Amino acid sequence: MKQRNLTDKQRRLIEMDMAGTTDAAIALPPWSSQSPVKGDRFLRCATVLDRCGISKTTMYDWIAGGGFPAPIPLGGKSVAWLESEIDAWQLWKVGQRAVA
């Protein structure tokens, strides 16, 4: 997997999660970002599903439960995901495998 530029906060949260530590002051999931990183791209649904290897139903179930990055409304019925958030989610999932 090609590693994208993650924010310091995303990197720290991923490292903390992989180490099994928590920080009560941080309530955001490790893939959440307040702003896109430079060079970030919007990924449409089909691309996200292909990169993550999950179904649309599973993705939206995980979004509802807080276990997957939420889409960004683009206007009308169009939504997209930040590539950096999908990359950070994938790293987080790999960390979950190491903990389990």
Question: Domain coordinates of the chain in residue numbers?
Answer: 8-99
pLDDT value of residue 8: 66
- In the 8-state DSSP scheme, what is residue 38? T
DSSP H helices, 7-81, are 8-19, 45-52, 56-64
DSSP 77-93: TEEEEEHHHHHHHHHHH
Choice among 12-21, 34-43, 54-63 with the minimum mean pLDDT: 12-21
Q: In which band, very low, low, confident or very high, does the pLDDT at 39 lie, cut at 50, 70 and 90?
A: confident
Entry pTM: 0.68
Number of Cβ within 10 Å of residue 8's Cβ equals: 7
In the sheet that holds 78-82, the strands lie side by side as 42-43, 78-82, 72-75
pLDDT value of residue 1: 45
pLDDT value of residue 42: 95
